Structure 1
Amino acid sequence: MKTALFVTCVNDMVFPRTGIAVVNILERLGHQVEVPRQQTCCGQMHANTGYRDEAMPVIRHFVRTFQGYDAVVAPSGSCVAMVRTLYPRLVDSDPQLAAAVAELLPRTYELSEFLIDVLGVTDLGASFPHRVTYHPTCHGMRALRLGDRPLELLSHVRGLELVPLKGAEECCGFGGTFSVKNPAVSGAMLHDKCAAILDTGADYVLAADNSCLTHIGGGLRRRRAAPRTVHYAEVLAS
């Protein structure tokens, strides 16, 4: 299977260890993973802020970049949700591009979907002897409907103690540009999320999106709180 890593902007620029973790996981399972150097943003920031015309060239570039792969895998529920749920709406006025997008969508996966639904793998032989809690990010939970897939993978990690997070389904308040445009509301949501995390007594907070973990991590650091934020892929690669 010819597999490509869609690393995403945030991971490429700020959290490269997450992208490396995904490659290590897939190579451990016998896959040869390519990381197309020409890949750029998926266009989510443009589209979410209302700049549809500016998003279109980015979408065309994404489709060209990942043509020819059997699977496109990303450690981001947010960016995969952009491709699978918003691309079809944004390109409906361009039949040729719409056809190319429709062909690409079934081959684009968030990591846990690819591991469980495509490869049929739940136990990666990982070990992480720590107390953790998991925050299901909004795009992964509501747009992709990842359900318990990440938790199923984490349940097979040796030594890991998974503690339920109260109000787990509630947004952390990031929402991309939402946190910039609505800082007071975003801050209040973040306060509640951090309080719930602290109540778990966890050493680590895991999620499928480093963008949300950045927001949560900032809130925890301002409280001088102990829990560290880590993408769940890095735990599975451990």
Structure 2
Amino acid sequence: MVHVTVWNEFRHEQESELVRKVYPAGIHGQLAVFLEKAGFHTKTATLDQPEHGLTEAVLSETDVLIWWGHMAHGEVADEIVERVKHHVLRGMGLVVLHSGHMSKIFMSLMGTSCDLKWREADEKERIFVVDPSHEIASGIPEAFELEKEEMYGEYFDVPAPDETIFLSWFEGGNVFRSGLTYRRGNGRIFYFQPGHESYPTYYNENVQKVIINGVNWCSKGNRAYPTYGHEEAVYPIGKGTNEQ
């Protein structure tokens, strides 16, 4: 069974009645509900827990970490970021959602500003599948719509992705590479754009299916991390295994 930890800074839900009405159990709570139904062993962690809920023990038992953050990126301790990065490089999967593009962990793994254009204007978003052969797009229609989402637009300052799976169009005319994959070390990373805190995006069945597929894909990182450092010659010239 795939073990998933859903991390959410959990600040908007505590400070905004509007957000609390949309996600009464927190964004992490809603994500955990459909992930559990999909058959994953799921736990949650939040910013204000000791070590942000991401202890060495928790991460050692996590196959895929889901990250949602927005207003408190700077409050995430650098020590915890390095701990998460250590686990990603050694094969733990990472699914970064919406405004998590500006999280310390995503920026560190990307090595760029990860900045973009944005506009909060209750716009319709149409999400197109541009790589239908990819397993993250399995079961997703050619295109689907969200009635209201925060606009994210190009240019998105991230490295060229390994795969671009989704491309979004917004009612105001912008487009955005909304579903991207990366490999860092032994770990797999999936970034997926929809999920503004004041909209019920994570109740949408297609969005849920994409995240479920993303977790499955990210869980397949190789956990057999190489040993680095000085090494004696394995097969010196003239000393092959077939020498008599």
Same fold (TM over 0.5): no
- TM-score, structure 2 as length reference: 0.38
- TM-score, structure 1 as length reference: 0.39
Q: Give the greater-gyration-radius structure (CA).
A: 2
